[in-house]
Chain A
Amino acid sequence: MRPVFIIAAVWLSACAAFADITAEEVELRAHEVGKSLRCVVCQNQSIDESDAPLAADMRRLVRVQIADGKTNQEVIDFMRVQYGDYVLLKPPVQGNTLVLWLAPLGLVLLALGWPAISGRKRIDPQVEPLTSEEAGQLKKALKDENS
């Protein structure tokens, strides 16, 4: 019988610890979540840094949901249901954003592979050594200039 009690006791205390999320923890995670959510009325500001009243209400809702034991991702998913992908500051990798995500990589590869693709060859200068006659002319020309 005793092991059952111990297991139950451990289980219950674990639950209590999980539910008793500290205020600092809520605050910390709310900031984390807030930074990844776009303020829907001010554009290109996260709700964490926006002064808009709606952003303030969204921050409050984020805190309430975190205190309720939801994970960060669950809170973000909740906002995404109402406001769509627009509310995410970092666009998710999916069909309509593939171009966005892959284009930079494609451009880098294109740039690196450009010499091969363009088919242009580097021109190696074929320089023949001066003949003794030319060397003499050069020497003379330099001498004239210096004098």
Chain B
Amino acid sequence: MKPAALLPLGVFLVLTGFFAFGLTKDPTQIKTQMTNRPVPNFTLSSLEDALVVHTQDDLRGRVSLVNVFGSWCAPCAIEHPNIVEIGKQDVVRLVGVNWRDDRAAGQDWLERLGDPYDIVLFDDLSLLAIGMGVTGAPESYIVDKSGVVRYKHVGIVTPQIWRDTLLPIVNDLKKSPI
């Protein structure tokens, strides 16, 4: 048999290899492009008070954990006690992003479940959410002192994820001067 006769088989195997590799990837996990980029400029009102305005400058100076949630989001309610617990540790500035929500519903939700956040941004039109590359709730971002996104976590922040993944990053970033 001539070596050329094996060519179709070779092409088939290469293609199969590509497809097999593709199957191992989860298309719902979009690799964040935001890591090591500054938080986009935004002007959003506080959930608590429509007249209080926050901008990207409110995310500077301290390491922040930005947590995207909504009163409509069932996993967020499961996650929330963990966020409240993180708030008690007082190791990071907690910024909530109340995403695609009704202001009253969001306020009510925090009243019932507790409000651990230092700031809660009201983002009913996804202005910041799209700027941050949010695809669903809950999602959490670690932002360093200079306002640059350093880490993104998709899904519920469990106590284990906080202890093993997020807290070490926060502690590292707190050590850096800027």
Q: Write the B108-129 contact mask toward A (1 if CB under 8 angstroms, else 0).
A: 0000000000000000011101
CA distance A118 to B131 in the complex (A): 54
For the complex, what is the distance from the CA of A61 to the CA of B133, rounded to whole Å? 13
**B27, B130, B133: which has the most chain A beta carbons within 10 Å?**
B130
Could you tell me the distance between the alpha carbons of A117 and B11 in the complex, rounded to whole angstroms? 14
Interface residues on chain A, number (Cβ under 8 Å):
22
**Contact call A119/B4, Cβ cutoff below 8 A:** yes
Secondary structure at the B interface, as helix, strand, loop or mixed, is loop
Instruction: Give the residues in chain A near B5, CB-CB below 8 Å.
Output: 118
Q: A54-B126, A57-B100, A61-B130 are in contact. Are A118 and B30 (CB under 8 A)?
A: no
**Is A43 part of the binding interface, using a Cβ–Cβ cutoff of 8 Å?**
yes
In the complex, which range does the number of interface residues on chain B fall in?
20 to 34
Interface positions of B from 6 to 26, Cβ below 8 Å from A: 7, 11, 18
CB–CB B4/A117 < 8 A: yes
Residue on A nearest B72 in the bound complex, by CB: A53
B7–A82 touching, CB < 8 Å: no
Contact B7 A110 (CB under 8 A): yes
Contact across chains for A83 and B127 when beta carbons are under 8 A apart: no
B15 (CB) vs chain A CBs: closest residue: A103
Knowing A107-B11, A117-B4, the reply to whether A82 touches B132 (Cβ < 8 A) is yes
Question: A53 near B31 (CB under 8 angstroms)?
Answer: no
Given contacts A57-B100, A82-B133, A84-B31, 15 further A-B contacts (CB under 8 A): A41-B135, A54-B135, A57-B129, A58-B126, A60-B125, A61-B126, A81-B33, A81-B37, A82-B33, A83-B33, A84-B30, A86-B30, A86-B31, A110-B11, A118-B5
Pairs A–B under 8 Å by Cβ, sample size 21: A53-B100, A54-B126, A54-B129, A54-B130, A54-B136, A57-B125, A57-B126, A58-B126, A80-B33, A82-B34, A82-B131, A82-B132, A83-B30, A84-B32, A84-B133, A86-B31, A107-B11, A110-B11, A117-B4, A118-B5, A119-B4
